[in-house]
Every structure is written in structure tokens, then in C-alpha cells.
Structure 1
């Protein structure tokens, strides 16, 4: 692969003028057996480059553990990009935002009670240095300087929206260099944050989704010479629970792209293919009110969540063709889908009585946080005894993020961080009754100072003004459902429960799991965690990638936290429902 060069006039590649026509595709949001398909479609739209973040929290789930295999096989993804003739922009963080859980920062950092993330805190910098060494050492053959597809590497991510410590950015850049990143480095920031987030001697780029002329003018004012590039050209947006599905008119987005490319600038679409926040990986925002992101990361992209071209694919390819050669090929057709079918979930297993299947209870004076339990995702189950019977007022200093409260196994209420709820009144039937609190981590905050987002019950827990002590804290990561004793059940159990059903497939194909009539929870197909569902919407279906299915019998498991569908059925349909759009 030729080397990317940066000079006063712009980008050159192998000595020739070069424009980056790139699109975002996060390998960790796409099933690995579908990477090649998505990359081929990027080339067919006219792109010459793909961009991806790297999620530190998935690759290094514990300080002494690092993975580059399975769905995290980044070397394989880079090989497939190269085989398709695509260059790569690599954005390893350490912080990535991306509407991803914790902005990609591993939860174990927060086990340090006073750590300062994205700063020169020596504990944070030591962890970053170790991460870069583990990540980039095996990736060195994939750098363009060694014949690989990676043209450039990003330093941090929109740091100007968070801080203004140039020495911190210098450390990140030096750490990348020490770990072998000898290709060009770059930063990205929104136009108003360029001064705070830039690093002298490193290419600055800008992020925006409209008014390209203004954004590029701000970039040129900050950086009088060199290439102009929009690293995040926002052609869609993400959704959060409780609002509408965000879309952007394809014609309007195409006109904005035309304006951008007419200046000679380079571009990276955010996103070309958004993908899915599988499992528990969605992030959240907290600008005085906590707002978790939905499971789908469709992003209203040129390729939808299932990898099918949308109107934007054609509209953008037509614009790109005005400025660069595009492959002489028709727009790829939608992929095959399963025919519609209903799945009966005939077996059940109550969660609370089976909690020991998932984790060991830890005794302590107070409730322990997820981070203290060395837990990344999922739920924590807290229990203690109530000293007196009668009317009681429970007060919890901080709920992170959603607590279901039970007394002797019976539900008595819910406290939601999103609604700033801290207190709940109920009646205790007897002295010595068991108080059970099931807390869901709905996604660590991924933007702003709220990234210091510890999960569980934080602070004091009071009953009628007196602090409750003598707790057990049981981690429920739900990373493996093996061992659950499912039994046929005529009626759904009271309280949170898993429900299981099977269906047959002849030829596996993409499908969407619809859970109409269910309330809130998570779903798995053949042990693969699809993500969260919630009746509040907007999202009302979960994407099931074809590679998750197998010929013959397949299994669906639904964890319903509240009220199961009366008939305990789910539907597989060939089309998604991402919710109503704003009129």
C-alpha cells in the first residue's frame, strides 16, 4: 500500500494528489461474517477508505486480559478491507464516544474512586500506554508504512469538547508513536472546539453535518495550510429511548455532500454503515438528565442496519461520481430475509430464584458498585433484611440506572435515574422481610464529564431515615445463559423471568425479532445477545444477523423484566420497526 503524505497543498498518495472518500463502519457493531459484504458495498458506493473506532472496553475487559479474536478480530477486518482495495482510518481512542458504552473506556478504570479519565492522571496514562502497546504491536504489519491498509491514526477523539490540556494530547500522540504508529496522526473536533482540541504538528480535522462552508472556514482559520477534511460528516443521527426515530432527508444530505466535495475537501461519512449495539453495549448521554441510547445504531445510513442500501446510497454515489470514478455496477439488492413466522415461548425460568446461576453474592456493609464487583455490563442484585414491618420509605442516594424493588419477592416499585427518582414507599409485611433491588446498567455515559459513570446503587440507602446495612451484592452479567433450568409453564412467573422458544430454519437469512406486547428486557438468539427492547420505543424490533441462525432448530430467549406478552409469543419479520419519525 502507498503512503499517505500531508503537505501544504493537501494529501498525496504515492506522490499523486489524493482525496479521502471514506465511510464509518465499526467492525464491533457488525457480525464478523458480514464484514466482507459491507466493505464490498462501501467500494461500490465509490469510497476508497473505511474508518473504524476501536473499543478499548471490549478488547481489554480486564487489565490483564486482551482479545483480538472472534468479533474483535481487527486484523481480519483490516485484511478484508485491503482485499477490497480499501484504505483504513484507525481511531483507537483511548476515548471514542461513538454512543458506545462509556465512550469505549473500560469500566475497571472506575474501580479507582478518584481517577480522572481523559487526563494526565498517572493511573489513566499508564493504562492507556499498556492498551496502545497491546493493540498496536500486533497491528504494525497493517500500517501503510509496512504495506498495510491503515493510512492514518487518530489522536483521542473530539478532545476539545472535553478539555484543553495540550500536554495530555502530547502524551497520547507519543504513546501511539512508541507503540509503532508511524503513519500520519490527526485529531478531530467540532469547529468551535478546534483550538482546544488541536495538537501542534498534527493534522486537525473538523466534524459537522451541514453548512460545510462555515465548518471548513473555521478549520482553515485554525490551520492555514494543509488538507481540509471532515472526519465526521453527520448524515444521520442516533436514537434514544422515549423519543422518535431520527432520519435525515437523502436529497438534503446529498446536497450538503456536494457542497463539501466541491471545495476539494476529503470526507468520512458518519456513518456509512451504523450497525447494532448488540448485547449491553449502548452508551448514554447525561446533560443534567440521563438518556440511554437504543440498541439499533442504524443511524439512517447509506447501508441500513441489515446492510441493505438505502436511498442515501444511490444519492451519495451520484454525488461522488461528479468528483471521482465509481465502480460501474448496479446498486446491490437487499439481502434475503426469513419469511414471517410466530415463535411460542413455552418455557420459563424466574430470574430472582435463579440468580446464583449468574454470579456469587458478595457481603458488605453497603451495596457495592458494578466496578467494585469487577463487572462491566448487565445487572446487579442487591439484598438486605428489613428490620420492622409496616409502612416504610426507601431512599436511595443514587440509582444507576434503573432499580426494580421487591419485598419478599413481590414487586413494589421502580426507581429510574432518567426521571431523577430516589424514594419509594411500600408496606413491609413482617420484620425480617427481604428487600431485593435489581439494578440495570442501561449504558455508561459516553460524552462529557459524565463518563465517570459508576453503576449500581451509589451512596447511602435509607429506610425511614436510618441507613440500611448488611447487604449482599450479586453480579448478573448475563454473558452466558447456560445452566438456566427452563421448565414448561402454563402461566408466566411473577417478576423478572426468562422465556424460551424454538423455531426451525431451512436457509438462514437476516430477520427482525418483534416483541409486541412485551414490556422491557433483553433477547438472545442461539446464545447471541441481540440487545435491549423497551415498549416505550421508538425502536420496536431487534436485528437478527443471518450468521447467528443455523439450519434446523434455533432458540429464542427473552428476559422480560416486567409483564410478559399474554400469549408469550414473539414474531420474526423480514422488516424492522425503528419507530415513528418526527413530522
Structure 2
């Protein structure tokens, strides 16, 4: 298959194609059983391509070790893509973004100071031979797996490499202080809302802001040497500044709806950002087609956010109709909906700004169900298929002396045989437009309409009317197992002063004094870390900077707990500070005392502004002159390791086992972590047709949710919003016993687990 391109479109084996792809995060679907279902639904929606990004950290948690088996078997995934009949767009990185830890880079690179991640330092080019060696090893593992695939049409290098102002300003030290003062949400909205003037555009400079850099050229060269023969592209953030020209095809992000605290329908300029993309590209590369590698099909929610039911309602089918038609109005013939399939950010994979669910209001939801937004895409693709031969080769028709038809006239485009007139109503009220025909003369609220005229001037078609969606009726669900009887045990015996921690790693005084006690310095990159120390007599003082969530215990008793999570955006500094732990009411022995500090990382920043190395765990600690002998261990429960842990629960420490019925809570001991466990079997339910979820009633205390050992949920009832957790088929065993464990972290006087129930979606 030969893939060529020009200023209009891709030509595949000599035939022009209008490429409509969707992103599929296979790493958020931890079961190959789910991959084919999502691919088939994408094809049924009228898409003709799938975009796959390959997280380096998902396949290589340890340097030199690579895993492409089981839930990481991308060769099997590629086979499915071919069998379903979709073209493949591959994104091997090395940086992918995707709202995951370090943007997909493996955290082990943070331990080697000779490696400069992404060859970029404070958003400026800083070519790093050591990073390129590591990247080359990764590329040698992943690129040959897709390079020779017969359906491969495009390959992306890197992602959003140049960070334009004002986003770049969030890396400044002043931003750290401002986060503490004003909170991150206010500042994030300020940064998103500001614009940068076109006069800032600088072409051709060999620098971080420039249009060309050695890093990009070396990435492209590596792809060619490893067998990639299709066009290589990059996805830029700004249409005017920092566009990467060391690729065959330039692409552009378009996410017009980023605020979840207001209705986009109240802003008449919501989609105005598309206007001018065609002109801007022509100023850089007039020979390129218009390409949107990330065209908004959803948006991620954050801890404490409104929740995905609200996100889906906020976006509505109108938003995906409008972004698609806005792309066509700018001559786009290639785009990839991001994200088209929701998923589950299982384990400790997420960056700090996302929680477990990554539904995003996507056309295909996290649990696999489809609705109004999916149907809007399917109907629009039927229209595009009908007129594809003209839509792939259009030119803008400039208005005559009389100007546009009417205020709602957006643009007119001429194809080889047909003319396309774009009309847009940017209000909440219907608008009548002066057309020559009686067909569809009224624009619905927030409708973009495309009217198609033949060479004879006759109307040949109109884009679909705005969708009026009624959810299908669902029958009475079958009875599901009731999760009422549980066992409960203390799973943190390390709080006991008599506990033997000799198997833990020692922490030297020199490490503390040099400030090398954070998780990455200790090789514990993800999730939780326990610090355990012993000292004699009084404790002078205790000042602590621990990120993101922590609890301090002395001689079994909870002394302090808190969160250093001021930056919910997950971009830029953390806004953290040293906090004094009050020792006023702590009962200390004259002899030996034991202090235990448990810290949870919510993930590394995604590295958007070179902030992925922000430290996690204990960043600074001041215990005065008290000689404390420290040891440490990773994992909330014993045996938990890595970014995507699968825990063998038979090896987990437990004391004080008892049977309980939910809801269940406790005050006093045990402090630390309490473990609830039960088993259930699913029978008489077709789990290929309906997905299963676990729903929590309100409780108290952060919790990890494990299904058959897989960490498939992180629950934070005090922060929210997630209370329903999808149990992915494949991790969930049909017609077999399933082991369910919930580890509740007691960080206050009382902890509680409310009722938990199964629910079909």
C-alpha cells in the first residue's frame, strides 16, 4: 500500500481519502477481550482509522526490560485492527501525553542525571545523547511491531513539543507561590484564557521555540531506519508559534471546550479558534493538508470535579458535530477524535489531574456503551461518505462584492464537482436563513449546517439535522450478587514498635541531609511509600513536605494527616510547603519510639512543561537533632509493586481477622490500613453485552480497589467525584470466583466503608 500526501489529502494507493480516526488507549482497557469490541464500534461509527499511542512506561518499568505479552500484546491488537478493516496511525512517542504519569516516559529516567527527558530543559532544546540512546532502545522494541503493517498510514513523533506562552509561564518559581495564594483552578483558567499574539512567531530558529530542531530530525531518522515508510507527523499546540517543520506533515491540536465550570453554549466564539488554521498553515507549509491529530471528542475530569455524567451532558452531541464541521470548513481531510473511547486509568498510571475513570464523555464510554455523541458521529460520517470525493479536494470561495449570504454564513468551499456552503448558528435560539430552497431553512440552536450544491446549482444534500436522542429502554436487570459479608483485617502491622522491618531498605542520614529521600531517589516511582524510623527519647521537632497525601503515626497512634495537592491541573509546580507536625499531645517513651509516615503519590506530572521530575513522597523533612534511623518500603500492601500492580493477596500481611457486614466503620485501632475482602461469582449475565461496575455508598478514608489482584480503582470519598468503578471484563472472570479487596487508609479519628454494590451498565 502506497501512502502519499499533498495540500489536499492523503492518497492511499492513488485514491484520495478523508481520514477520520479515533484514539484508542489500549493501556486503559486491561483486557484484549475489550479491544475488538471497541474497534468494531469505531468501524460501525463510520471511522476508517484508529490512532494508537504506545506508552513507554507501560511496556518498560525497569530499564532494559520490555513486556509485550498479555494485556500489553500490541501485535495481537494490530491483528485486530487489520481484521476490523481500519487504517492504523501509530504514536510511539517517546512522549505521548495522554494524561498519564510522566506523559508515558518511564520514571526510571529520572534517576539518571545525564538523561534530559525529551531533549528539552525548561521548554528549551537541550539535546541529550543519553536520552536518545534510551529512546532508540525503546523504538527498536516497539517500531518494528507496526512499521511493516499493511494498513499503516501515518506515524507521529513526540507530542505538543513546543509550549507557547502563556502555558510556558507556569514553570516559573513565581507560579509556585501563586498556587499557594490563589489556588490552581483560578490560575489554570487564566493561562487557558489568555492568548499569544502572532507577532511572537519566529520561524527557522534552531532553538526550543523554533521551527526545527535536531531532536525531531533524529526521531524521524530513527523511524526511517527501523522501517517506517509512511509520512511522519507531529502534533502542535499553537497554529502560529513553534510549529515543527522537521516532519512530513504538520498537525494541530483543537480542544475548544476546556472549562467544565461553565456552559460552552453561552460563548458565541467557542469554535472560532478554527478560523484561520488554513491560512496559518499556508504561512508555514503551503504544501501540507490540514490535519487535526487531536480533535476534541471529550475532555478529562479531575479530582473534585463535576464527574463524567456532567461532562457528557455539558459536551452534548452538538459539540462533536461542531468540531467536525469546523474542521471541514478549514479544508481538513485528516483528523483523529481524542478521545473516542473512554477507559480506566488503572493502577498508578494517571497523572495527578485525573482519577481512575477516563470516560471523558467520549462517544464510546468507559464501560463500552454508546449514546447521543456516538450517534452524532455515525450520522455525520454517512454524510461525509456520500460526498467524500469532493470534500477531499476543496478550495475556499471568497465572498463577492455583496459579502456573505447572511450573518450565519461561515465559509463556502468548492470541490471538483460540488460546492459546500457552511452555515453556523452560534446562539441558543433557532435562526432562519435566506436560502433559495425550502429545505432546512432554519438553523437549530448551535447547529453548523453544510449545504451541498451540484455543478448545476441544485441542492444535492444537507448535513444531518441536530440529533434528538432518546436513550434506548433497558430491560429489568438480572439479580446480581449482594456484597454484604466481608472479612476485615489490619494490614499495616508495621505501626507496631515490635515489627521486624529488617527486610526494608535502609535510609542513611546523608540521604536525608542531601534531600534525597523522595520516591524517585529511592527507586519507588509509583503509588505509596512507607517510611519507618526508630529513635530514643524526645523528638525535637518534625517539619514535613510530603506529596501528595500523607499520614504520620508515632507508637501506633495517628499524629497528623494531610494533603499537598494544591495543583489540581497537574501542570507546573506543586505549590507545596513544609508543614509543622504538632507533637504536643504525642505520648513518647523514654526509651525506644517508632515513627511511621505513609505517603501516596497521585502520579508524576505529565511533563507538559518539563515538570515531570517534581518530587513525590517525602521531599523534605526536618526532625531537628533527633537521631532517627529510617527504613522504607514501597506499596500500600506488601507485594504491591510498579505502576500497574497485580497483587498476590495470599502474601499480604494481616492481623486481627474478623467477619463484618457493610456498612462498617471503626475508631481507634487499628490505625494505618484496614483491608476488606470478599468473593463473588457472576452467573447468568452476558458480560459481553453489559458491563459490570462497583458502586460505593459514602464512606470515610481513601481506598484502593483490587479485583483479582489488579488495582482497578482509587477511591477518595472526601474529594470525589468518582463513586462508580467499572470492573473490566477479562480482569473480571465470568462464571468463576472473583476476589475483591478494598484497602481503606485511616487518616482521621474514624474510617468507614459504606455499602458496596454491583451494578450493570
The answer to whether the superposition gives a TM-score over 0.5 is yes
Aligned: 1:481 with 2:627: no
Aligned: 1:522 with 2:568: no
Matches within 5 A, 1:484-503: 484-485=652-653, 487-489=657-659, 493-503=670-680
Structure 1 pair 531–357 and aligned structure 2 pair: CA distance change class (3 A):
farther
Q: CA deviation at 1:224?
A: 1.5
Matches of 2:684 and 2:64, distance apart in 1: 41
Structure 1 pair 170–393 and aligned structure 2 pair: CA distance change class (3 A):
same
Q: Quick one: which of 310, 319, 327 aligns to 2:371?
A: 310
Contact 1:344-1:502 within 8 A present in 2 as well = no
Q: CA deviation at 1:269?
A: 0.3
Secondary structure of the corresponding residue to residue 152 of structure 1: strand
Residue 532 (structure 2) aligns with: 383
Structure 1 pair 414–115 and aligned structure 2 pair: CA distance change class (3 A):
farther
Contact 2:8-2:331 within 8 A present in 1 as well = no
Structure 1 pair 174–357 and aligned structure 2 pair: CA distance change class (3 A):
farther
Structure 1 pair 18–371 and aligned structure 2 pair: CA distance change class (3 A):
same
Matches of 1:154 and 1:501, distance apart in 2: 45
Residue 580 (structure 1) aligns with: none
Structure 1 pair 387–511 and aligned structure 2 pair: CA distance change class (3 A):
same
Q: CA deviation at 1:115?
A: 3.8
Matches of 2:232 and 2:339, distance apart in 1: 21
Q: CA deviation at 1:325?
A: 5.2
Residue 543 (structure 1) aligns with: 726
Secondary structure of the corresponding residue to residue 82 of structure 1: helix
Residue 301 (structure 1) aligns with: 362
Residue 7 (structure 1) aligns with: 6
Aligned: 1:401 with 2:548: yes
Residue 141 (structure 1) aligns with: 148
Note the alpha carbon deviations across 1:139-167, whole angstroms, 9 max, x for none: 3432xxxxx22211101111012743711
Contact 2:553-2:596 within 8 A present in 1 as well = yes
Q: CA deviation at 1:81?
A: 0.7
Residue 458 (structure 2) aligns with: none
Q: CA deviation at 1:298?
A: 0.5
Residue 48 (structure 1) aligns with: 48
Q: CA deviation at 1:197?
A: 4.1
Secondary structure of the corresponding residue to residue 357 of structure 2: coil
Contact 2:107-2:520 within 8 A present in 1 as well = yes
* Deviating more after overlay: 309-318 vs 487-496: 487-496
Contact 1:360-1:475 within 8 A present in 2 as well = no
Secondary structure of the corresponding residue to residue 160 of structure 1: coil
Contact 1:36-1:80 within 8 A present in 2 as well = yes
Note the alpha carbon deviations across 1:504-547, whole angstroms, 9 max, x for none: 21045221111223331210112222121111112211111233
Residue 422 (structure 1) aligns with: 578
Q: Which runs of 5+ in 2 are unaligned?
A: 120-126, 169-207, 257-270, 388-469, 567-575
Matches of 1:18 and 1:467, distance apart in 2: 71
Aligned length: 554
Matches of 2:222 and 2:243, distance apart in 1: 17
Secondary structure of the corresponding residue to residue 224 of structure 1: coil
Contact 1:242-1:538 within 8 A present in 2 as well = yes
Q: CA deviation at 1:126?
A: 1.1
Secondary structure of the corresponding residue to residue 137 of structure 2: helix
Structure 1 pair 567–224 and aligned structure 2 pair: CA distance change class (3 A):
closer
* Deviating more after overlay: 206-215 vs 64-73: 206-215
Residue 26 (structure 2) aligns with: 27
Q: Which runs of 5+ in 1 are unaligned?
A: 143-147, 285-291, 576-583
Q: CA deviation at 1:346?
A: 1.9
Residue 153 (structure 2) aligns with: 151
* Deviating more after overlay: 296-305 vs 372-381: 372-381
Contact 1:99-1:282 within 8 A present in 2 as well = yes
Structure 1 pair 333–104 and aligned structure 2 pair: CA distance change class (3 A):
farther
Secondary structure of the corresponding residue to residue 93 of structure 2: coil
Secondary structure of the corresponding residue to residue 451 of structure 1: coil
Q: CA deviation at 1:385?
A: 2.3
Q: TM-score, normalised by structure 2?
A: 0.68
* Deviating more after overlay: 43-52 vs 359-368: 359-368
Q: CA deviation at 1:306?
A: 0.7
Aligned: 1:219 with 2:307: no
Matches of 1:84 and 1:160, distance apart in 2: 35
Contact 2:146-2:152 within 8 A present in 1 as well = no
Q: CA deviation at 1:338?
A: 6.8
* Structure number, greater radius of gyration: 2
Secondary structure of the corresponding residue to residue 205 of structure 1: strand
Matches of 2:501 and 2:18, distance apart in 1: 51
Structure 1 pair 138–86 and aligned structure 2 pair: CA distance change class (3 A):
closer
Q: TM-score, normalised by structure 1?
A: 0.88
Secondary structure of the corresponding residue to residue 162 of structure 2: helix
Residue 579 (structure 1) aligns with: none
Q: Quick one: which of 595, 598, 606 aligns to 1:435?
A: 595
Q: Quick one: which of 273, 291, 301 aligns to 1:239?
A: 301
Q: Quick one: which of 618, 627, 630 aligns to 1:457?
A: 618
Contact 1:206-1:216 within 8 A present in 2 as well = no
